[in-house]
Amino acid sequence: MGVINATPDSFSGDGLDSHDDPVQAAVKLGRQFVANGAHLLDVGGESTRPGAAPAAAELELRRVTPVIQSLAAAVDVPISVDTSKASVAEAALAAGASIVNDVWGLKRDGALADVVYAHGAALILMHNRSRSAEASGDGRLGGHYVGSEYDELLADVRSELEESIALAHDAGIADEKIILDPGIGFGKTVDQNRLLLNKLGHFKELGYPLLIGPSRKSFIGYTLNLPPDDRLEGTAAAVAVGITSGADMVRVHDVRAMARVARMTDALVRAA
């Protein structure tokens, strides 16, 4: 899954909203991602970096709707909209998206599940305990979470993902439409993120495909003491370990390199 940030404030520095023509820039990037091995594109109009200010629905709509509409006409891969708002999802699905990637796992907008069901869309349910009060910033390495507390990390994340699954079921969304994401980087400390990646098998037991999004995340930066634009190798290691641990899909910024990492890791993990 290639990341297309239709925002000016992405933590990774790849936001397209600052371009003179962000829609054209997104289409160019989407075509490049597909040529480099992306199987899906994920379009977001609200930054989810630690401490980021929320975007109003109207602003998010202006950012993502024209991008998705143009991408849908330009590429032949599924498009996901990264949003937790029912109104944004409704417009994005009408514009050509077929997946909703909800970083709050249906716990922010009660109408979102109904929108997903009505469109027959797929749904990514992510675990998230992000709280701005627990975020700490560093001018070079970026924001990260320092105060996230769990009784037992793996069991708590699994239990809260099960709550999101139940919300999807209540709206009529079928199991085959659901993908789970343990939420690397969202309300977890550096050590907790590393543990999650290494223990994905705990969530595979739930019986759903797993998505991970370790790309350029701060846990890599704080492990290697590197800024977001210098985390390619750290991301590659996280992707390889994640796939080995059970990830079925990886959400990345550096598609060309990570597609190669994914293919090689697949070949090794699935070797007869």
Question: Is 217 a catalytic site residue?
Answer: yes
Q: How many CA atoms lie less than 13 Å away from 48 in the CB half-sphere?
A: 23
List own/partner pairs for 133-136 with CB under 8 A and 24 or more apart. Answer: 134/187, 135/50, 135/51, 136/50
Output the pLDDT for position 239: 98
Whole-structure pTM value: 0.91
Beta bridge pairs of residue 180: 125, 210
Burial status of residue 102 (CB atoms within 10 A of its CB: 0-12, 13-18, 19 or more): buried
- Distance from C-alpha of 5 to C-alpha of 12, rounded to nearest angstrom: 9
Number of H helices, E strands in the chain: 10, 10
- Distance from C-alpha of 56 to C-alpha of 142, rounded to nearest angstrom: 23
Q: Using the 8-state DSSP alphabet, how is residue 210 labeled?
A: B
Q: Sign of dihedral through CA atoms 124, 126, 132, 135?
A: negative
Domain boundaries, the chain: 2-269
Count CB-CB contacts under 10 A for residue 24: 13
Measure CA 163 to chain center: 19
Whether the Cβ atoms of residue 14 and residue 232 lie closer than 8 Å to each other: no
Beta bridge pairs of residue 80: 42, 99
Q: Which of 85, 194, 216, 251 is the catalytic position?
A: 251
Question: Is 204 a catalytic site residue?
Answer: no
Q: Which of 49, 85, 177, 217 is the catalytic position?
A: 217
Q: Structure tokens of 10?
A: 């992405």
CATH number of 2-269: 3.20.20.20
Count CB-CB contacts under 10 A for residue 7: 26
Cα dihedral 206, 145, 101, 67, rounded to 10, equals: -160
Q: Tell me which residue has tokens 């890599």.
A: 220
Average pLDDT per 10 consecutive residues for the chain, totaling 272 residues: 82 55 92 98 82 79 95 98 97 98 96 98 95 60 71 97 98 98 94 96 96 96 94 98 97 98 95 68
Q: Structure tokens of 138?
A: 């560093």
